[in-house]
Structure 1
Amino acid sequence: MERLTYLAYLMFFILGFTTTLFGVTLIDICTTYQVDPYIIGYLLALLPIGSTAAMPMSGWLLDRKALKPVLMAALFIMFSSISIMIAYHQIALFASCMLILGVSNGMIISIANYIIVHLYNNQERPARLNLLNFCYSFGAVTAPLMSGSFAHLFPWQFFFTFALLLLLVIAGFSLTTKFNVVRESLAQHPPAVEEAWAKSVYIIGTALFFYVLSEYIVVNWAAAYFRQNLSMTTESVSLILFFFFILMAIGRFFSGIIVQYLKVERYLLLCSTLAVLSFIGLLTAHAYLTMLLTAAVMGFSYAGIYASLLSYGTQQLSRPSSKLITFLITTGSTGGITGLFLSGLVTQFSGVLPCLIISMTAMSLVTFAVLWVRSLSTASAYPDPCKKIS
């Protein structure tokens, strides 16, 4: 059981590492492919598109195939796409690799969450899911630290080769791991032929959509707001973002501990409300120290919301459901794609500040959604809104 848990953690670490690595090596990649940065930026959008498209397929496969072959297929697809990107420097191949890599990312996200949801119940599930997301943050922090320390010694291909070695380690770890615990869980809770979900499931799915949309806009446009609207230096903006991301990573670690002692809906209400208040503070602050403090609080508040919402959604059923996991992850991922296009459209015609206000509004809708679910009589007792239809 613990070995499977560590396997899920390793999968999320490699996802965080590779996804962030594209951002920190973007200029070097542009130089190799001899294109402008905006072209690579557009092509990187194929990652979330491929990931979102793969999630329903992953849910279908996990219901019908053994877990280990599906995982090995995902690792093989990821290994192949990165290898081709390193070996062949053609922009059309790069675009294809981004889409294929996105597919493997979507499969790995589904598999890792599937493992945790099947292994853990009650308060331990949100704790483990938050630790899973912490591993993603740990990988995301490792990538810029590694590239920043060794970029003057090695080309960008070296760091992606390191990712390939990590994939081989994960593949070897997977081959030597027994998946009996997951099979036993499936035997006890076989997938229903058809499922009818209560309203609470769809509300939580909508909350995941708004959360991911909000986080995407903050992560991608906060720096532009500080640079363009407040005329801050690169160093000053970098420090604000550092406080945000480092507290988000720390928050994801500690949120796994907090939710063991605090009900998940209370934790969600606390974090989402605090996120909105810190958002307001960040946009209205004039003192630089205040900006640093509100960015830190904001990062800590955002940290545990995604995993806790995902766990909250799965708790609406008394048994694990791959269909439900797939639905929740896919709706969240759709929020990221929506944020990608919506933020670009809004900033083009109205500027960065309205874009950030949309992000803040989306987070406030997360708070409203949790309050709505909490008010429903079915949510308080966690009955099973999933019924087999004969």
Structure 2
Amino acid sequence: MPDQPFSRGNINAISYLSYYFVGALVSTLGIVLGPLCAAFQKDPSFIGQVFTLMNIGMFIPIMLGGILMRRWGLQKPLVAAAALIVLISLLLFFTPTLTMFSLAVAGIGACGGIFMAIGSYLVVRINPDEKRRSASLIFTDFFFSLAGATLSLLLAWLFKLGASWIAMYGIMGTLGALMLAMTLRCRFPSTESPASASQNVLAAVEPWGCSVYLICFALFAFLLAEPIFTMWTPGYLQYRFAMTPEAAALYTSVYWVAKAIGLFLNQFTVRWMKLRTFLLICTLTGLAAIAIIANSANTTLILVACAVFGFFNSGMFSGLMSYGSLQVSRSSPTLISALLTCGTVGTLLFASVSSMVNSHFGQHGALNASTVAYSVLLGALIIAVFFSRAERLHQPTPATV
């Protein structure tokens, strides 16, 4: 129906940039770590703790995203966050102290959380069709990995030329300025669906159902498992197989390349395959792959498993987000915020949980914590599929595209 005073192309571009920004923020931490340690004469564990402020900053607006969008809409929080990123980046250039850096990463993390919450909701809001929504979310997530691939190379090249760590936040400021320009000239949809008043009242009181909570838990398990894998795999391979750091890094590089390829291709896969089937196949294959990585004695098989894990792991986050949003007849900002919040809790806890396991069971046990988390993910997903209402609520209709 014609309640479309917004440009689908511009909205999609803002969603892509939101994910690219958060991907740039998260996936380049390992590259910036060395220059930061050198600049502030601190060890990596100290700087790693400072980056915890970024995770906390990101978590808060994701948790409160539903309230944020309902009270101030979609454009105002994006404009405010983008402007704040530009301001913080400028302040870092003039005051590059450890205190300012700590405040900056917390502030930029909070702005990234706003981008993530609103970017995800925008994709859901403008794609009511199940297959288009799933494909759009997966393609949007592709930009998260794209940021890691492109900016990792760019920063490595800049640091090799002798650039300061501030170069990273100069890039973040540039992305913030681009987001500011795009959001100021874009017309956004409202947070309300183009439905009648009675439909809106019914939607407001519509129960989520147990599948939503199970999928929230599955997102938590997924975002607990993946960073445990990326954090502990290189060290485990060096310890067990006496690999050099460069050789061990190849295994996680293969994972990220395979994941980027999967994110690009799986946007087409979900257009002809049922989303629940796609998620179950990816989870089963991913569980088998991570079990091989953590327990096989064959390094060639582990390398192949890393590629398989990356490819089949690629659509899980977006697929779970889409499946969770389809459990109700009309997704709300609160529901999207809840799904993101539960996932983000996994990201917040992975370091402390896996470190505790490492202290008791060593690096092999720490890596297998990822296998356990993936097993929990599979169990939660199977039960969620059993109780799912998505297939009944979103029957494919020839009239709507």
What is the TM-score normalised by the length of structure 1? 0.92
| Residue matched to 1:175 | 184
CA separation in 1, counterparts of 2:102 and 2:168?
A: 19
Q: Aligned partners of 2:42 and 2:50: how far apart in 1?
A: 11
Aligned to 1:16: 23
1:357 to 368, 377, 381: 368
Q: Deviation of residue 152 (structure 1)? A: 2.5
Amino acid at match of 1:156: W
Residue type at the aligned position of 1:333: T
Q: Is the 8 A contact 2:211 2:387 kept in 1?
A: yes
Which residue of structure 2 aligns with residue 146 of structure 1? 154
Residue 25 of structure 1 pairs with residue 3 of structure 2: no
Amino acid across the alignment from 1:159: M
Residue of 197, 220, 224 corresponding to 1:209: 220
In 2, distance between residues paired with 1:126 and 1:249?
A: 16
> What percentage of residue pairs aligned between the two structures are identical?
26
**Are 2:82 and 2:180, in contact at CA under 8 Å, matched by a contact in 1?**
yes
Displacement over 6 Å in runs of 4+ = none
Q: Deviations over 1:146-174 (max 9, x none)?
A: 01223232222223213312221221111
Q: Secondary structure at the match of 1:260?
A: helix
Tell me if the contact between 1:7 and 1:173 (Cα under 8 Å) persists in the aligned partners. yes
Give a deviation string over 1:21-79, Cα, whole Å, max 9, x none. Answer: 33202111111122222110111112222211221322101012221111111212333
Residues in 2 aligned to 1:85 and 1:222: alpha-carbon distance in whole angstroms: 34
Q: CA deviation at 1:241?
A: 1.2
The residue number in structure 2 matching 1:88 is 95
Instruction: Specify the alignment match of 1:130 in structure 2.
Output: 138
Secondary structure of 2:393 counterpart: coil
**1:222 maps onto 2:222 in alignment:** no
Of the candidates 263, 277, 280, which is equivalent to residue 252 of structure 1?
263
1-structure distance, mates of 2:147, 2:289: 26
Which deviations, in whole Å up to 9, do the C-alpha atoms of 1:336-368 show, x marking residues without a partner? 112121112221232121122121111122222
Distance 1:184 1:373, change over 3 A: closer
Residue by residue, what CA displacement relative to the aligned partner does 1:314-335 show, whole Å, maximum 9, x if unpaired?
A: 0001112111101000000001
Are residues 1:306 and 2:317 paired? yes
The CA deviation at 1:197 is 2.0
Q: 8 Å contact 2:65–2:334 — kept in the other structure?
A: no
Rounded Cα–Cα distance in structure 2 between residues aligned with 1:184 and 1:196: 17
Judge which range, 190-199 or 70-79, deviates more.
190-199
> Is the 2:218–2:377 Cα contact (8 Å) retained in structure 1?
yes
Partner of 1:118: 125
Residues 86 and 213 (structure 1), Cα distance of their counterparts in 2 relative to 1, 3 Å cut = farther
Q: 1:54·1:107 contact (CA, 8 Å) conserved in 2?
A: yes
Q: Which amino acid aligns with 1:88?
A: T
For the Cα contact (< 8 Å) 2:293–2:306, is it kept in 1? Answer: yes
Give, in whole Å, the separation in 2 of the partners of 1:24 and 1:125. Answer: 33
Tell me the CA shift for residue 123 of structure 1.
0.8
Q: Aligned runs of 1:57-68 on 2, under 5 Å?
A: 57-68=64-75
| d(CA) in 2 for partners of 1:186, 1:152 | 52
Give the one of 269, 281, 288 matched to 2:299. 288
Q: Name the aligned partner's letter for residue 154 of structure 2.
A: M
Alignment-derived partner of residue 199 in structure 1: 210
Aligned amino acid, residue 98 of structure 1: V
- Counterpart Cα distance in 1 of 2:322 and 2:257: 23
Which piece of structure 1 moves more, 29-38 or 109-118?
29-38
- Paired residue for 1:155? 164
CA contact (8 A) 2:326 2:390 kept: no
Amino acid in structure 1 at the alignment position of 2:178? V
| Larger deviation, residues 12-21 vs 104-113 | 12-21
* Paired residue secondary structure (1:351): helix
Deviation at 1:182, TM superposition (A): 4.4
Q: Given that residues 21 and 112 in structure 2 are in contact (C-alpha distance below 8 angstroms), is that contact kept between their aligned partners in structure 1?
A: no
Measure, in 1, the Cα distance between the counterparts of 2:389 and 2:117.
27
Matches of 2:264 and 2:394, distance apart in 1: 29
Q: Report the alpha carbon displacement of residue 266 of structure 1 after superposing the two structures with TM.
A: 0.6
Which residue does the alignment assign to 1:387? Answer: none
TM-superposed deviation, 1:194: 4.9
Unaligned 5+ segments in structure 2 are: 1-7, 396-401
**How many Å apart are 1:285 and its aligned residue?**
2.9
Q: Greater shift after overlay, 370-379 or 55-64?
A: 370-379
- Measured after TM superposition, the shift of residue 187 of structure 1 is 5.9
User: Residue 222 of structure 1: CA displacement?
Assistant: 1.1
Asked whether the 8 Å contact 1:32–1:89 carries over to 2, the reply is no
Amino acid at match of 1:354: G
Ranges in structure 1 where 5+ consecutive residues have no aligned partner: 385-390
The 8 Å contact of residues 282 and 295 in structure 1, kept in 2 or not, is answered as yes
Question: Aligned in 2, Cα 1:91/1:377: closer, same or farther, shift over 3 Å?
Answer: closer
Contact persistence 1:200–1:379 (CA under 8 A)? no
Shift in Å at residue 84 of structure 1?
A: 3.1
TM-score by length of 2: 0.90
Q: Within 5 Å, give how 1:256-275 maps onto structure 2.
A: 256-275=267-286
Question: Is 1:282–1:291's contact at 8 Å kept on the other side of the alignment?
Answer: yes
- RMSD over aligned Cα atoms: 2.0
Cα distance in 2, alignment partners of residues 377 and 110 from structure 1: 24
Distance, in Å, in 2 between the alignment partners of 1:79 and 1:190 is 38
Return the letter of the residue paired with 2:301.
T
- Tell me how many residue pairs correspond in the alignment: 383
Tell me which amino acid in the other structure corresponds to 1:18: L
What's the counterpart of residue 4 of structure 2? Answer: none
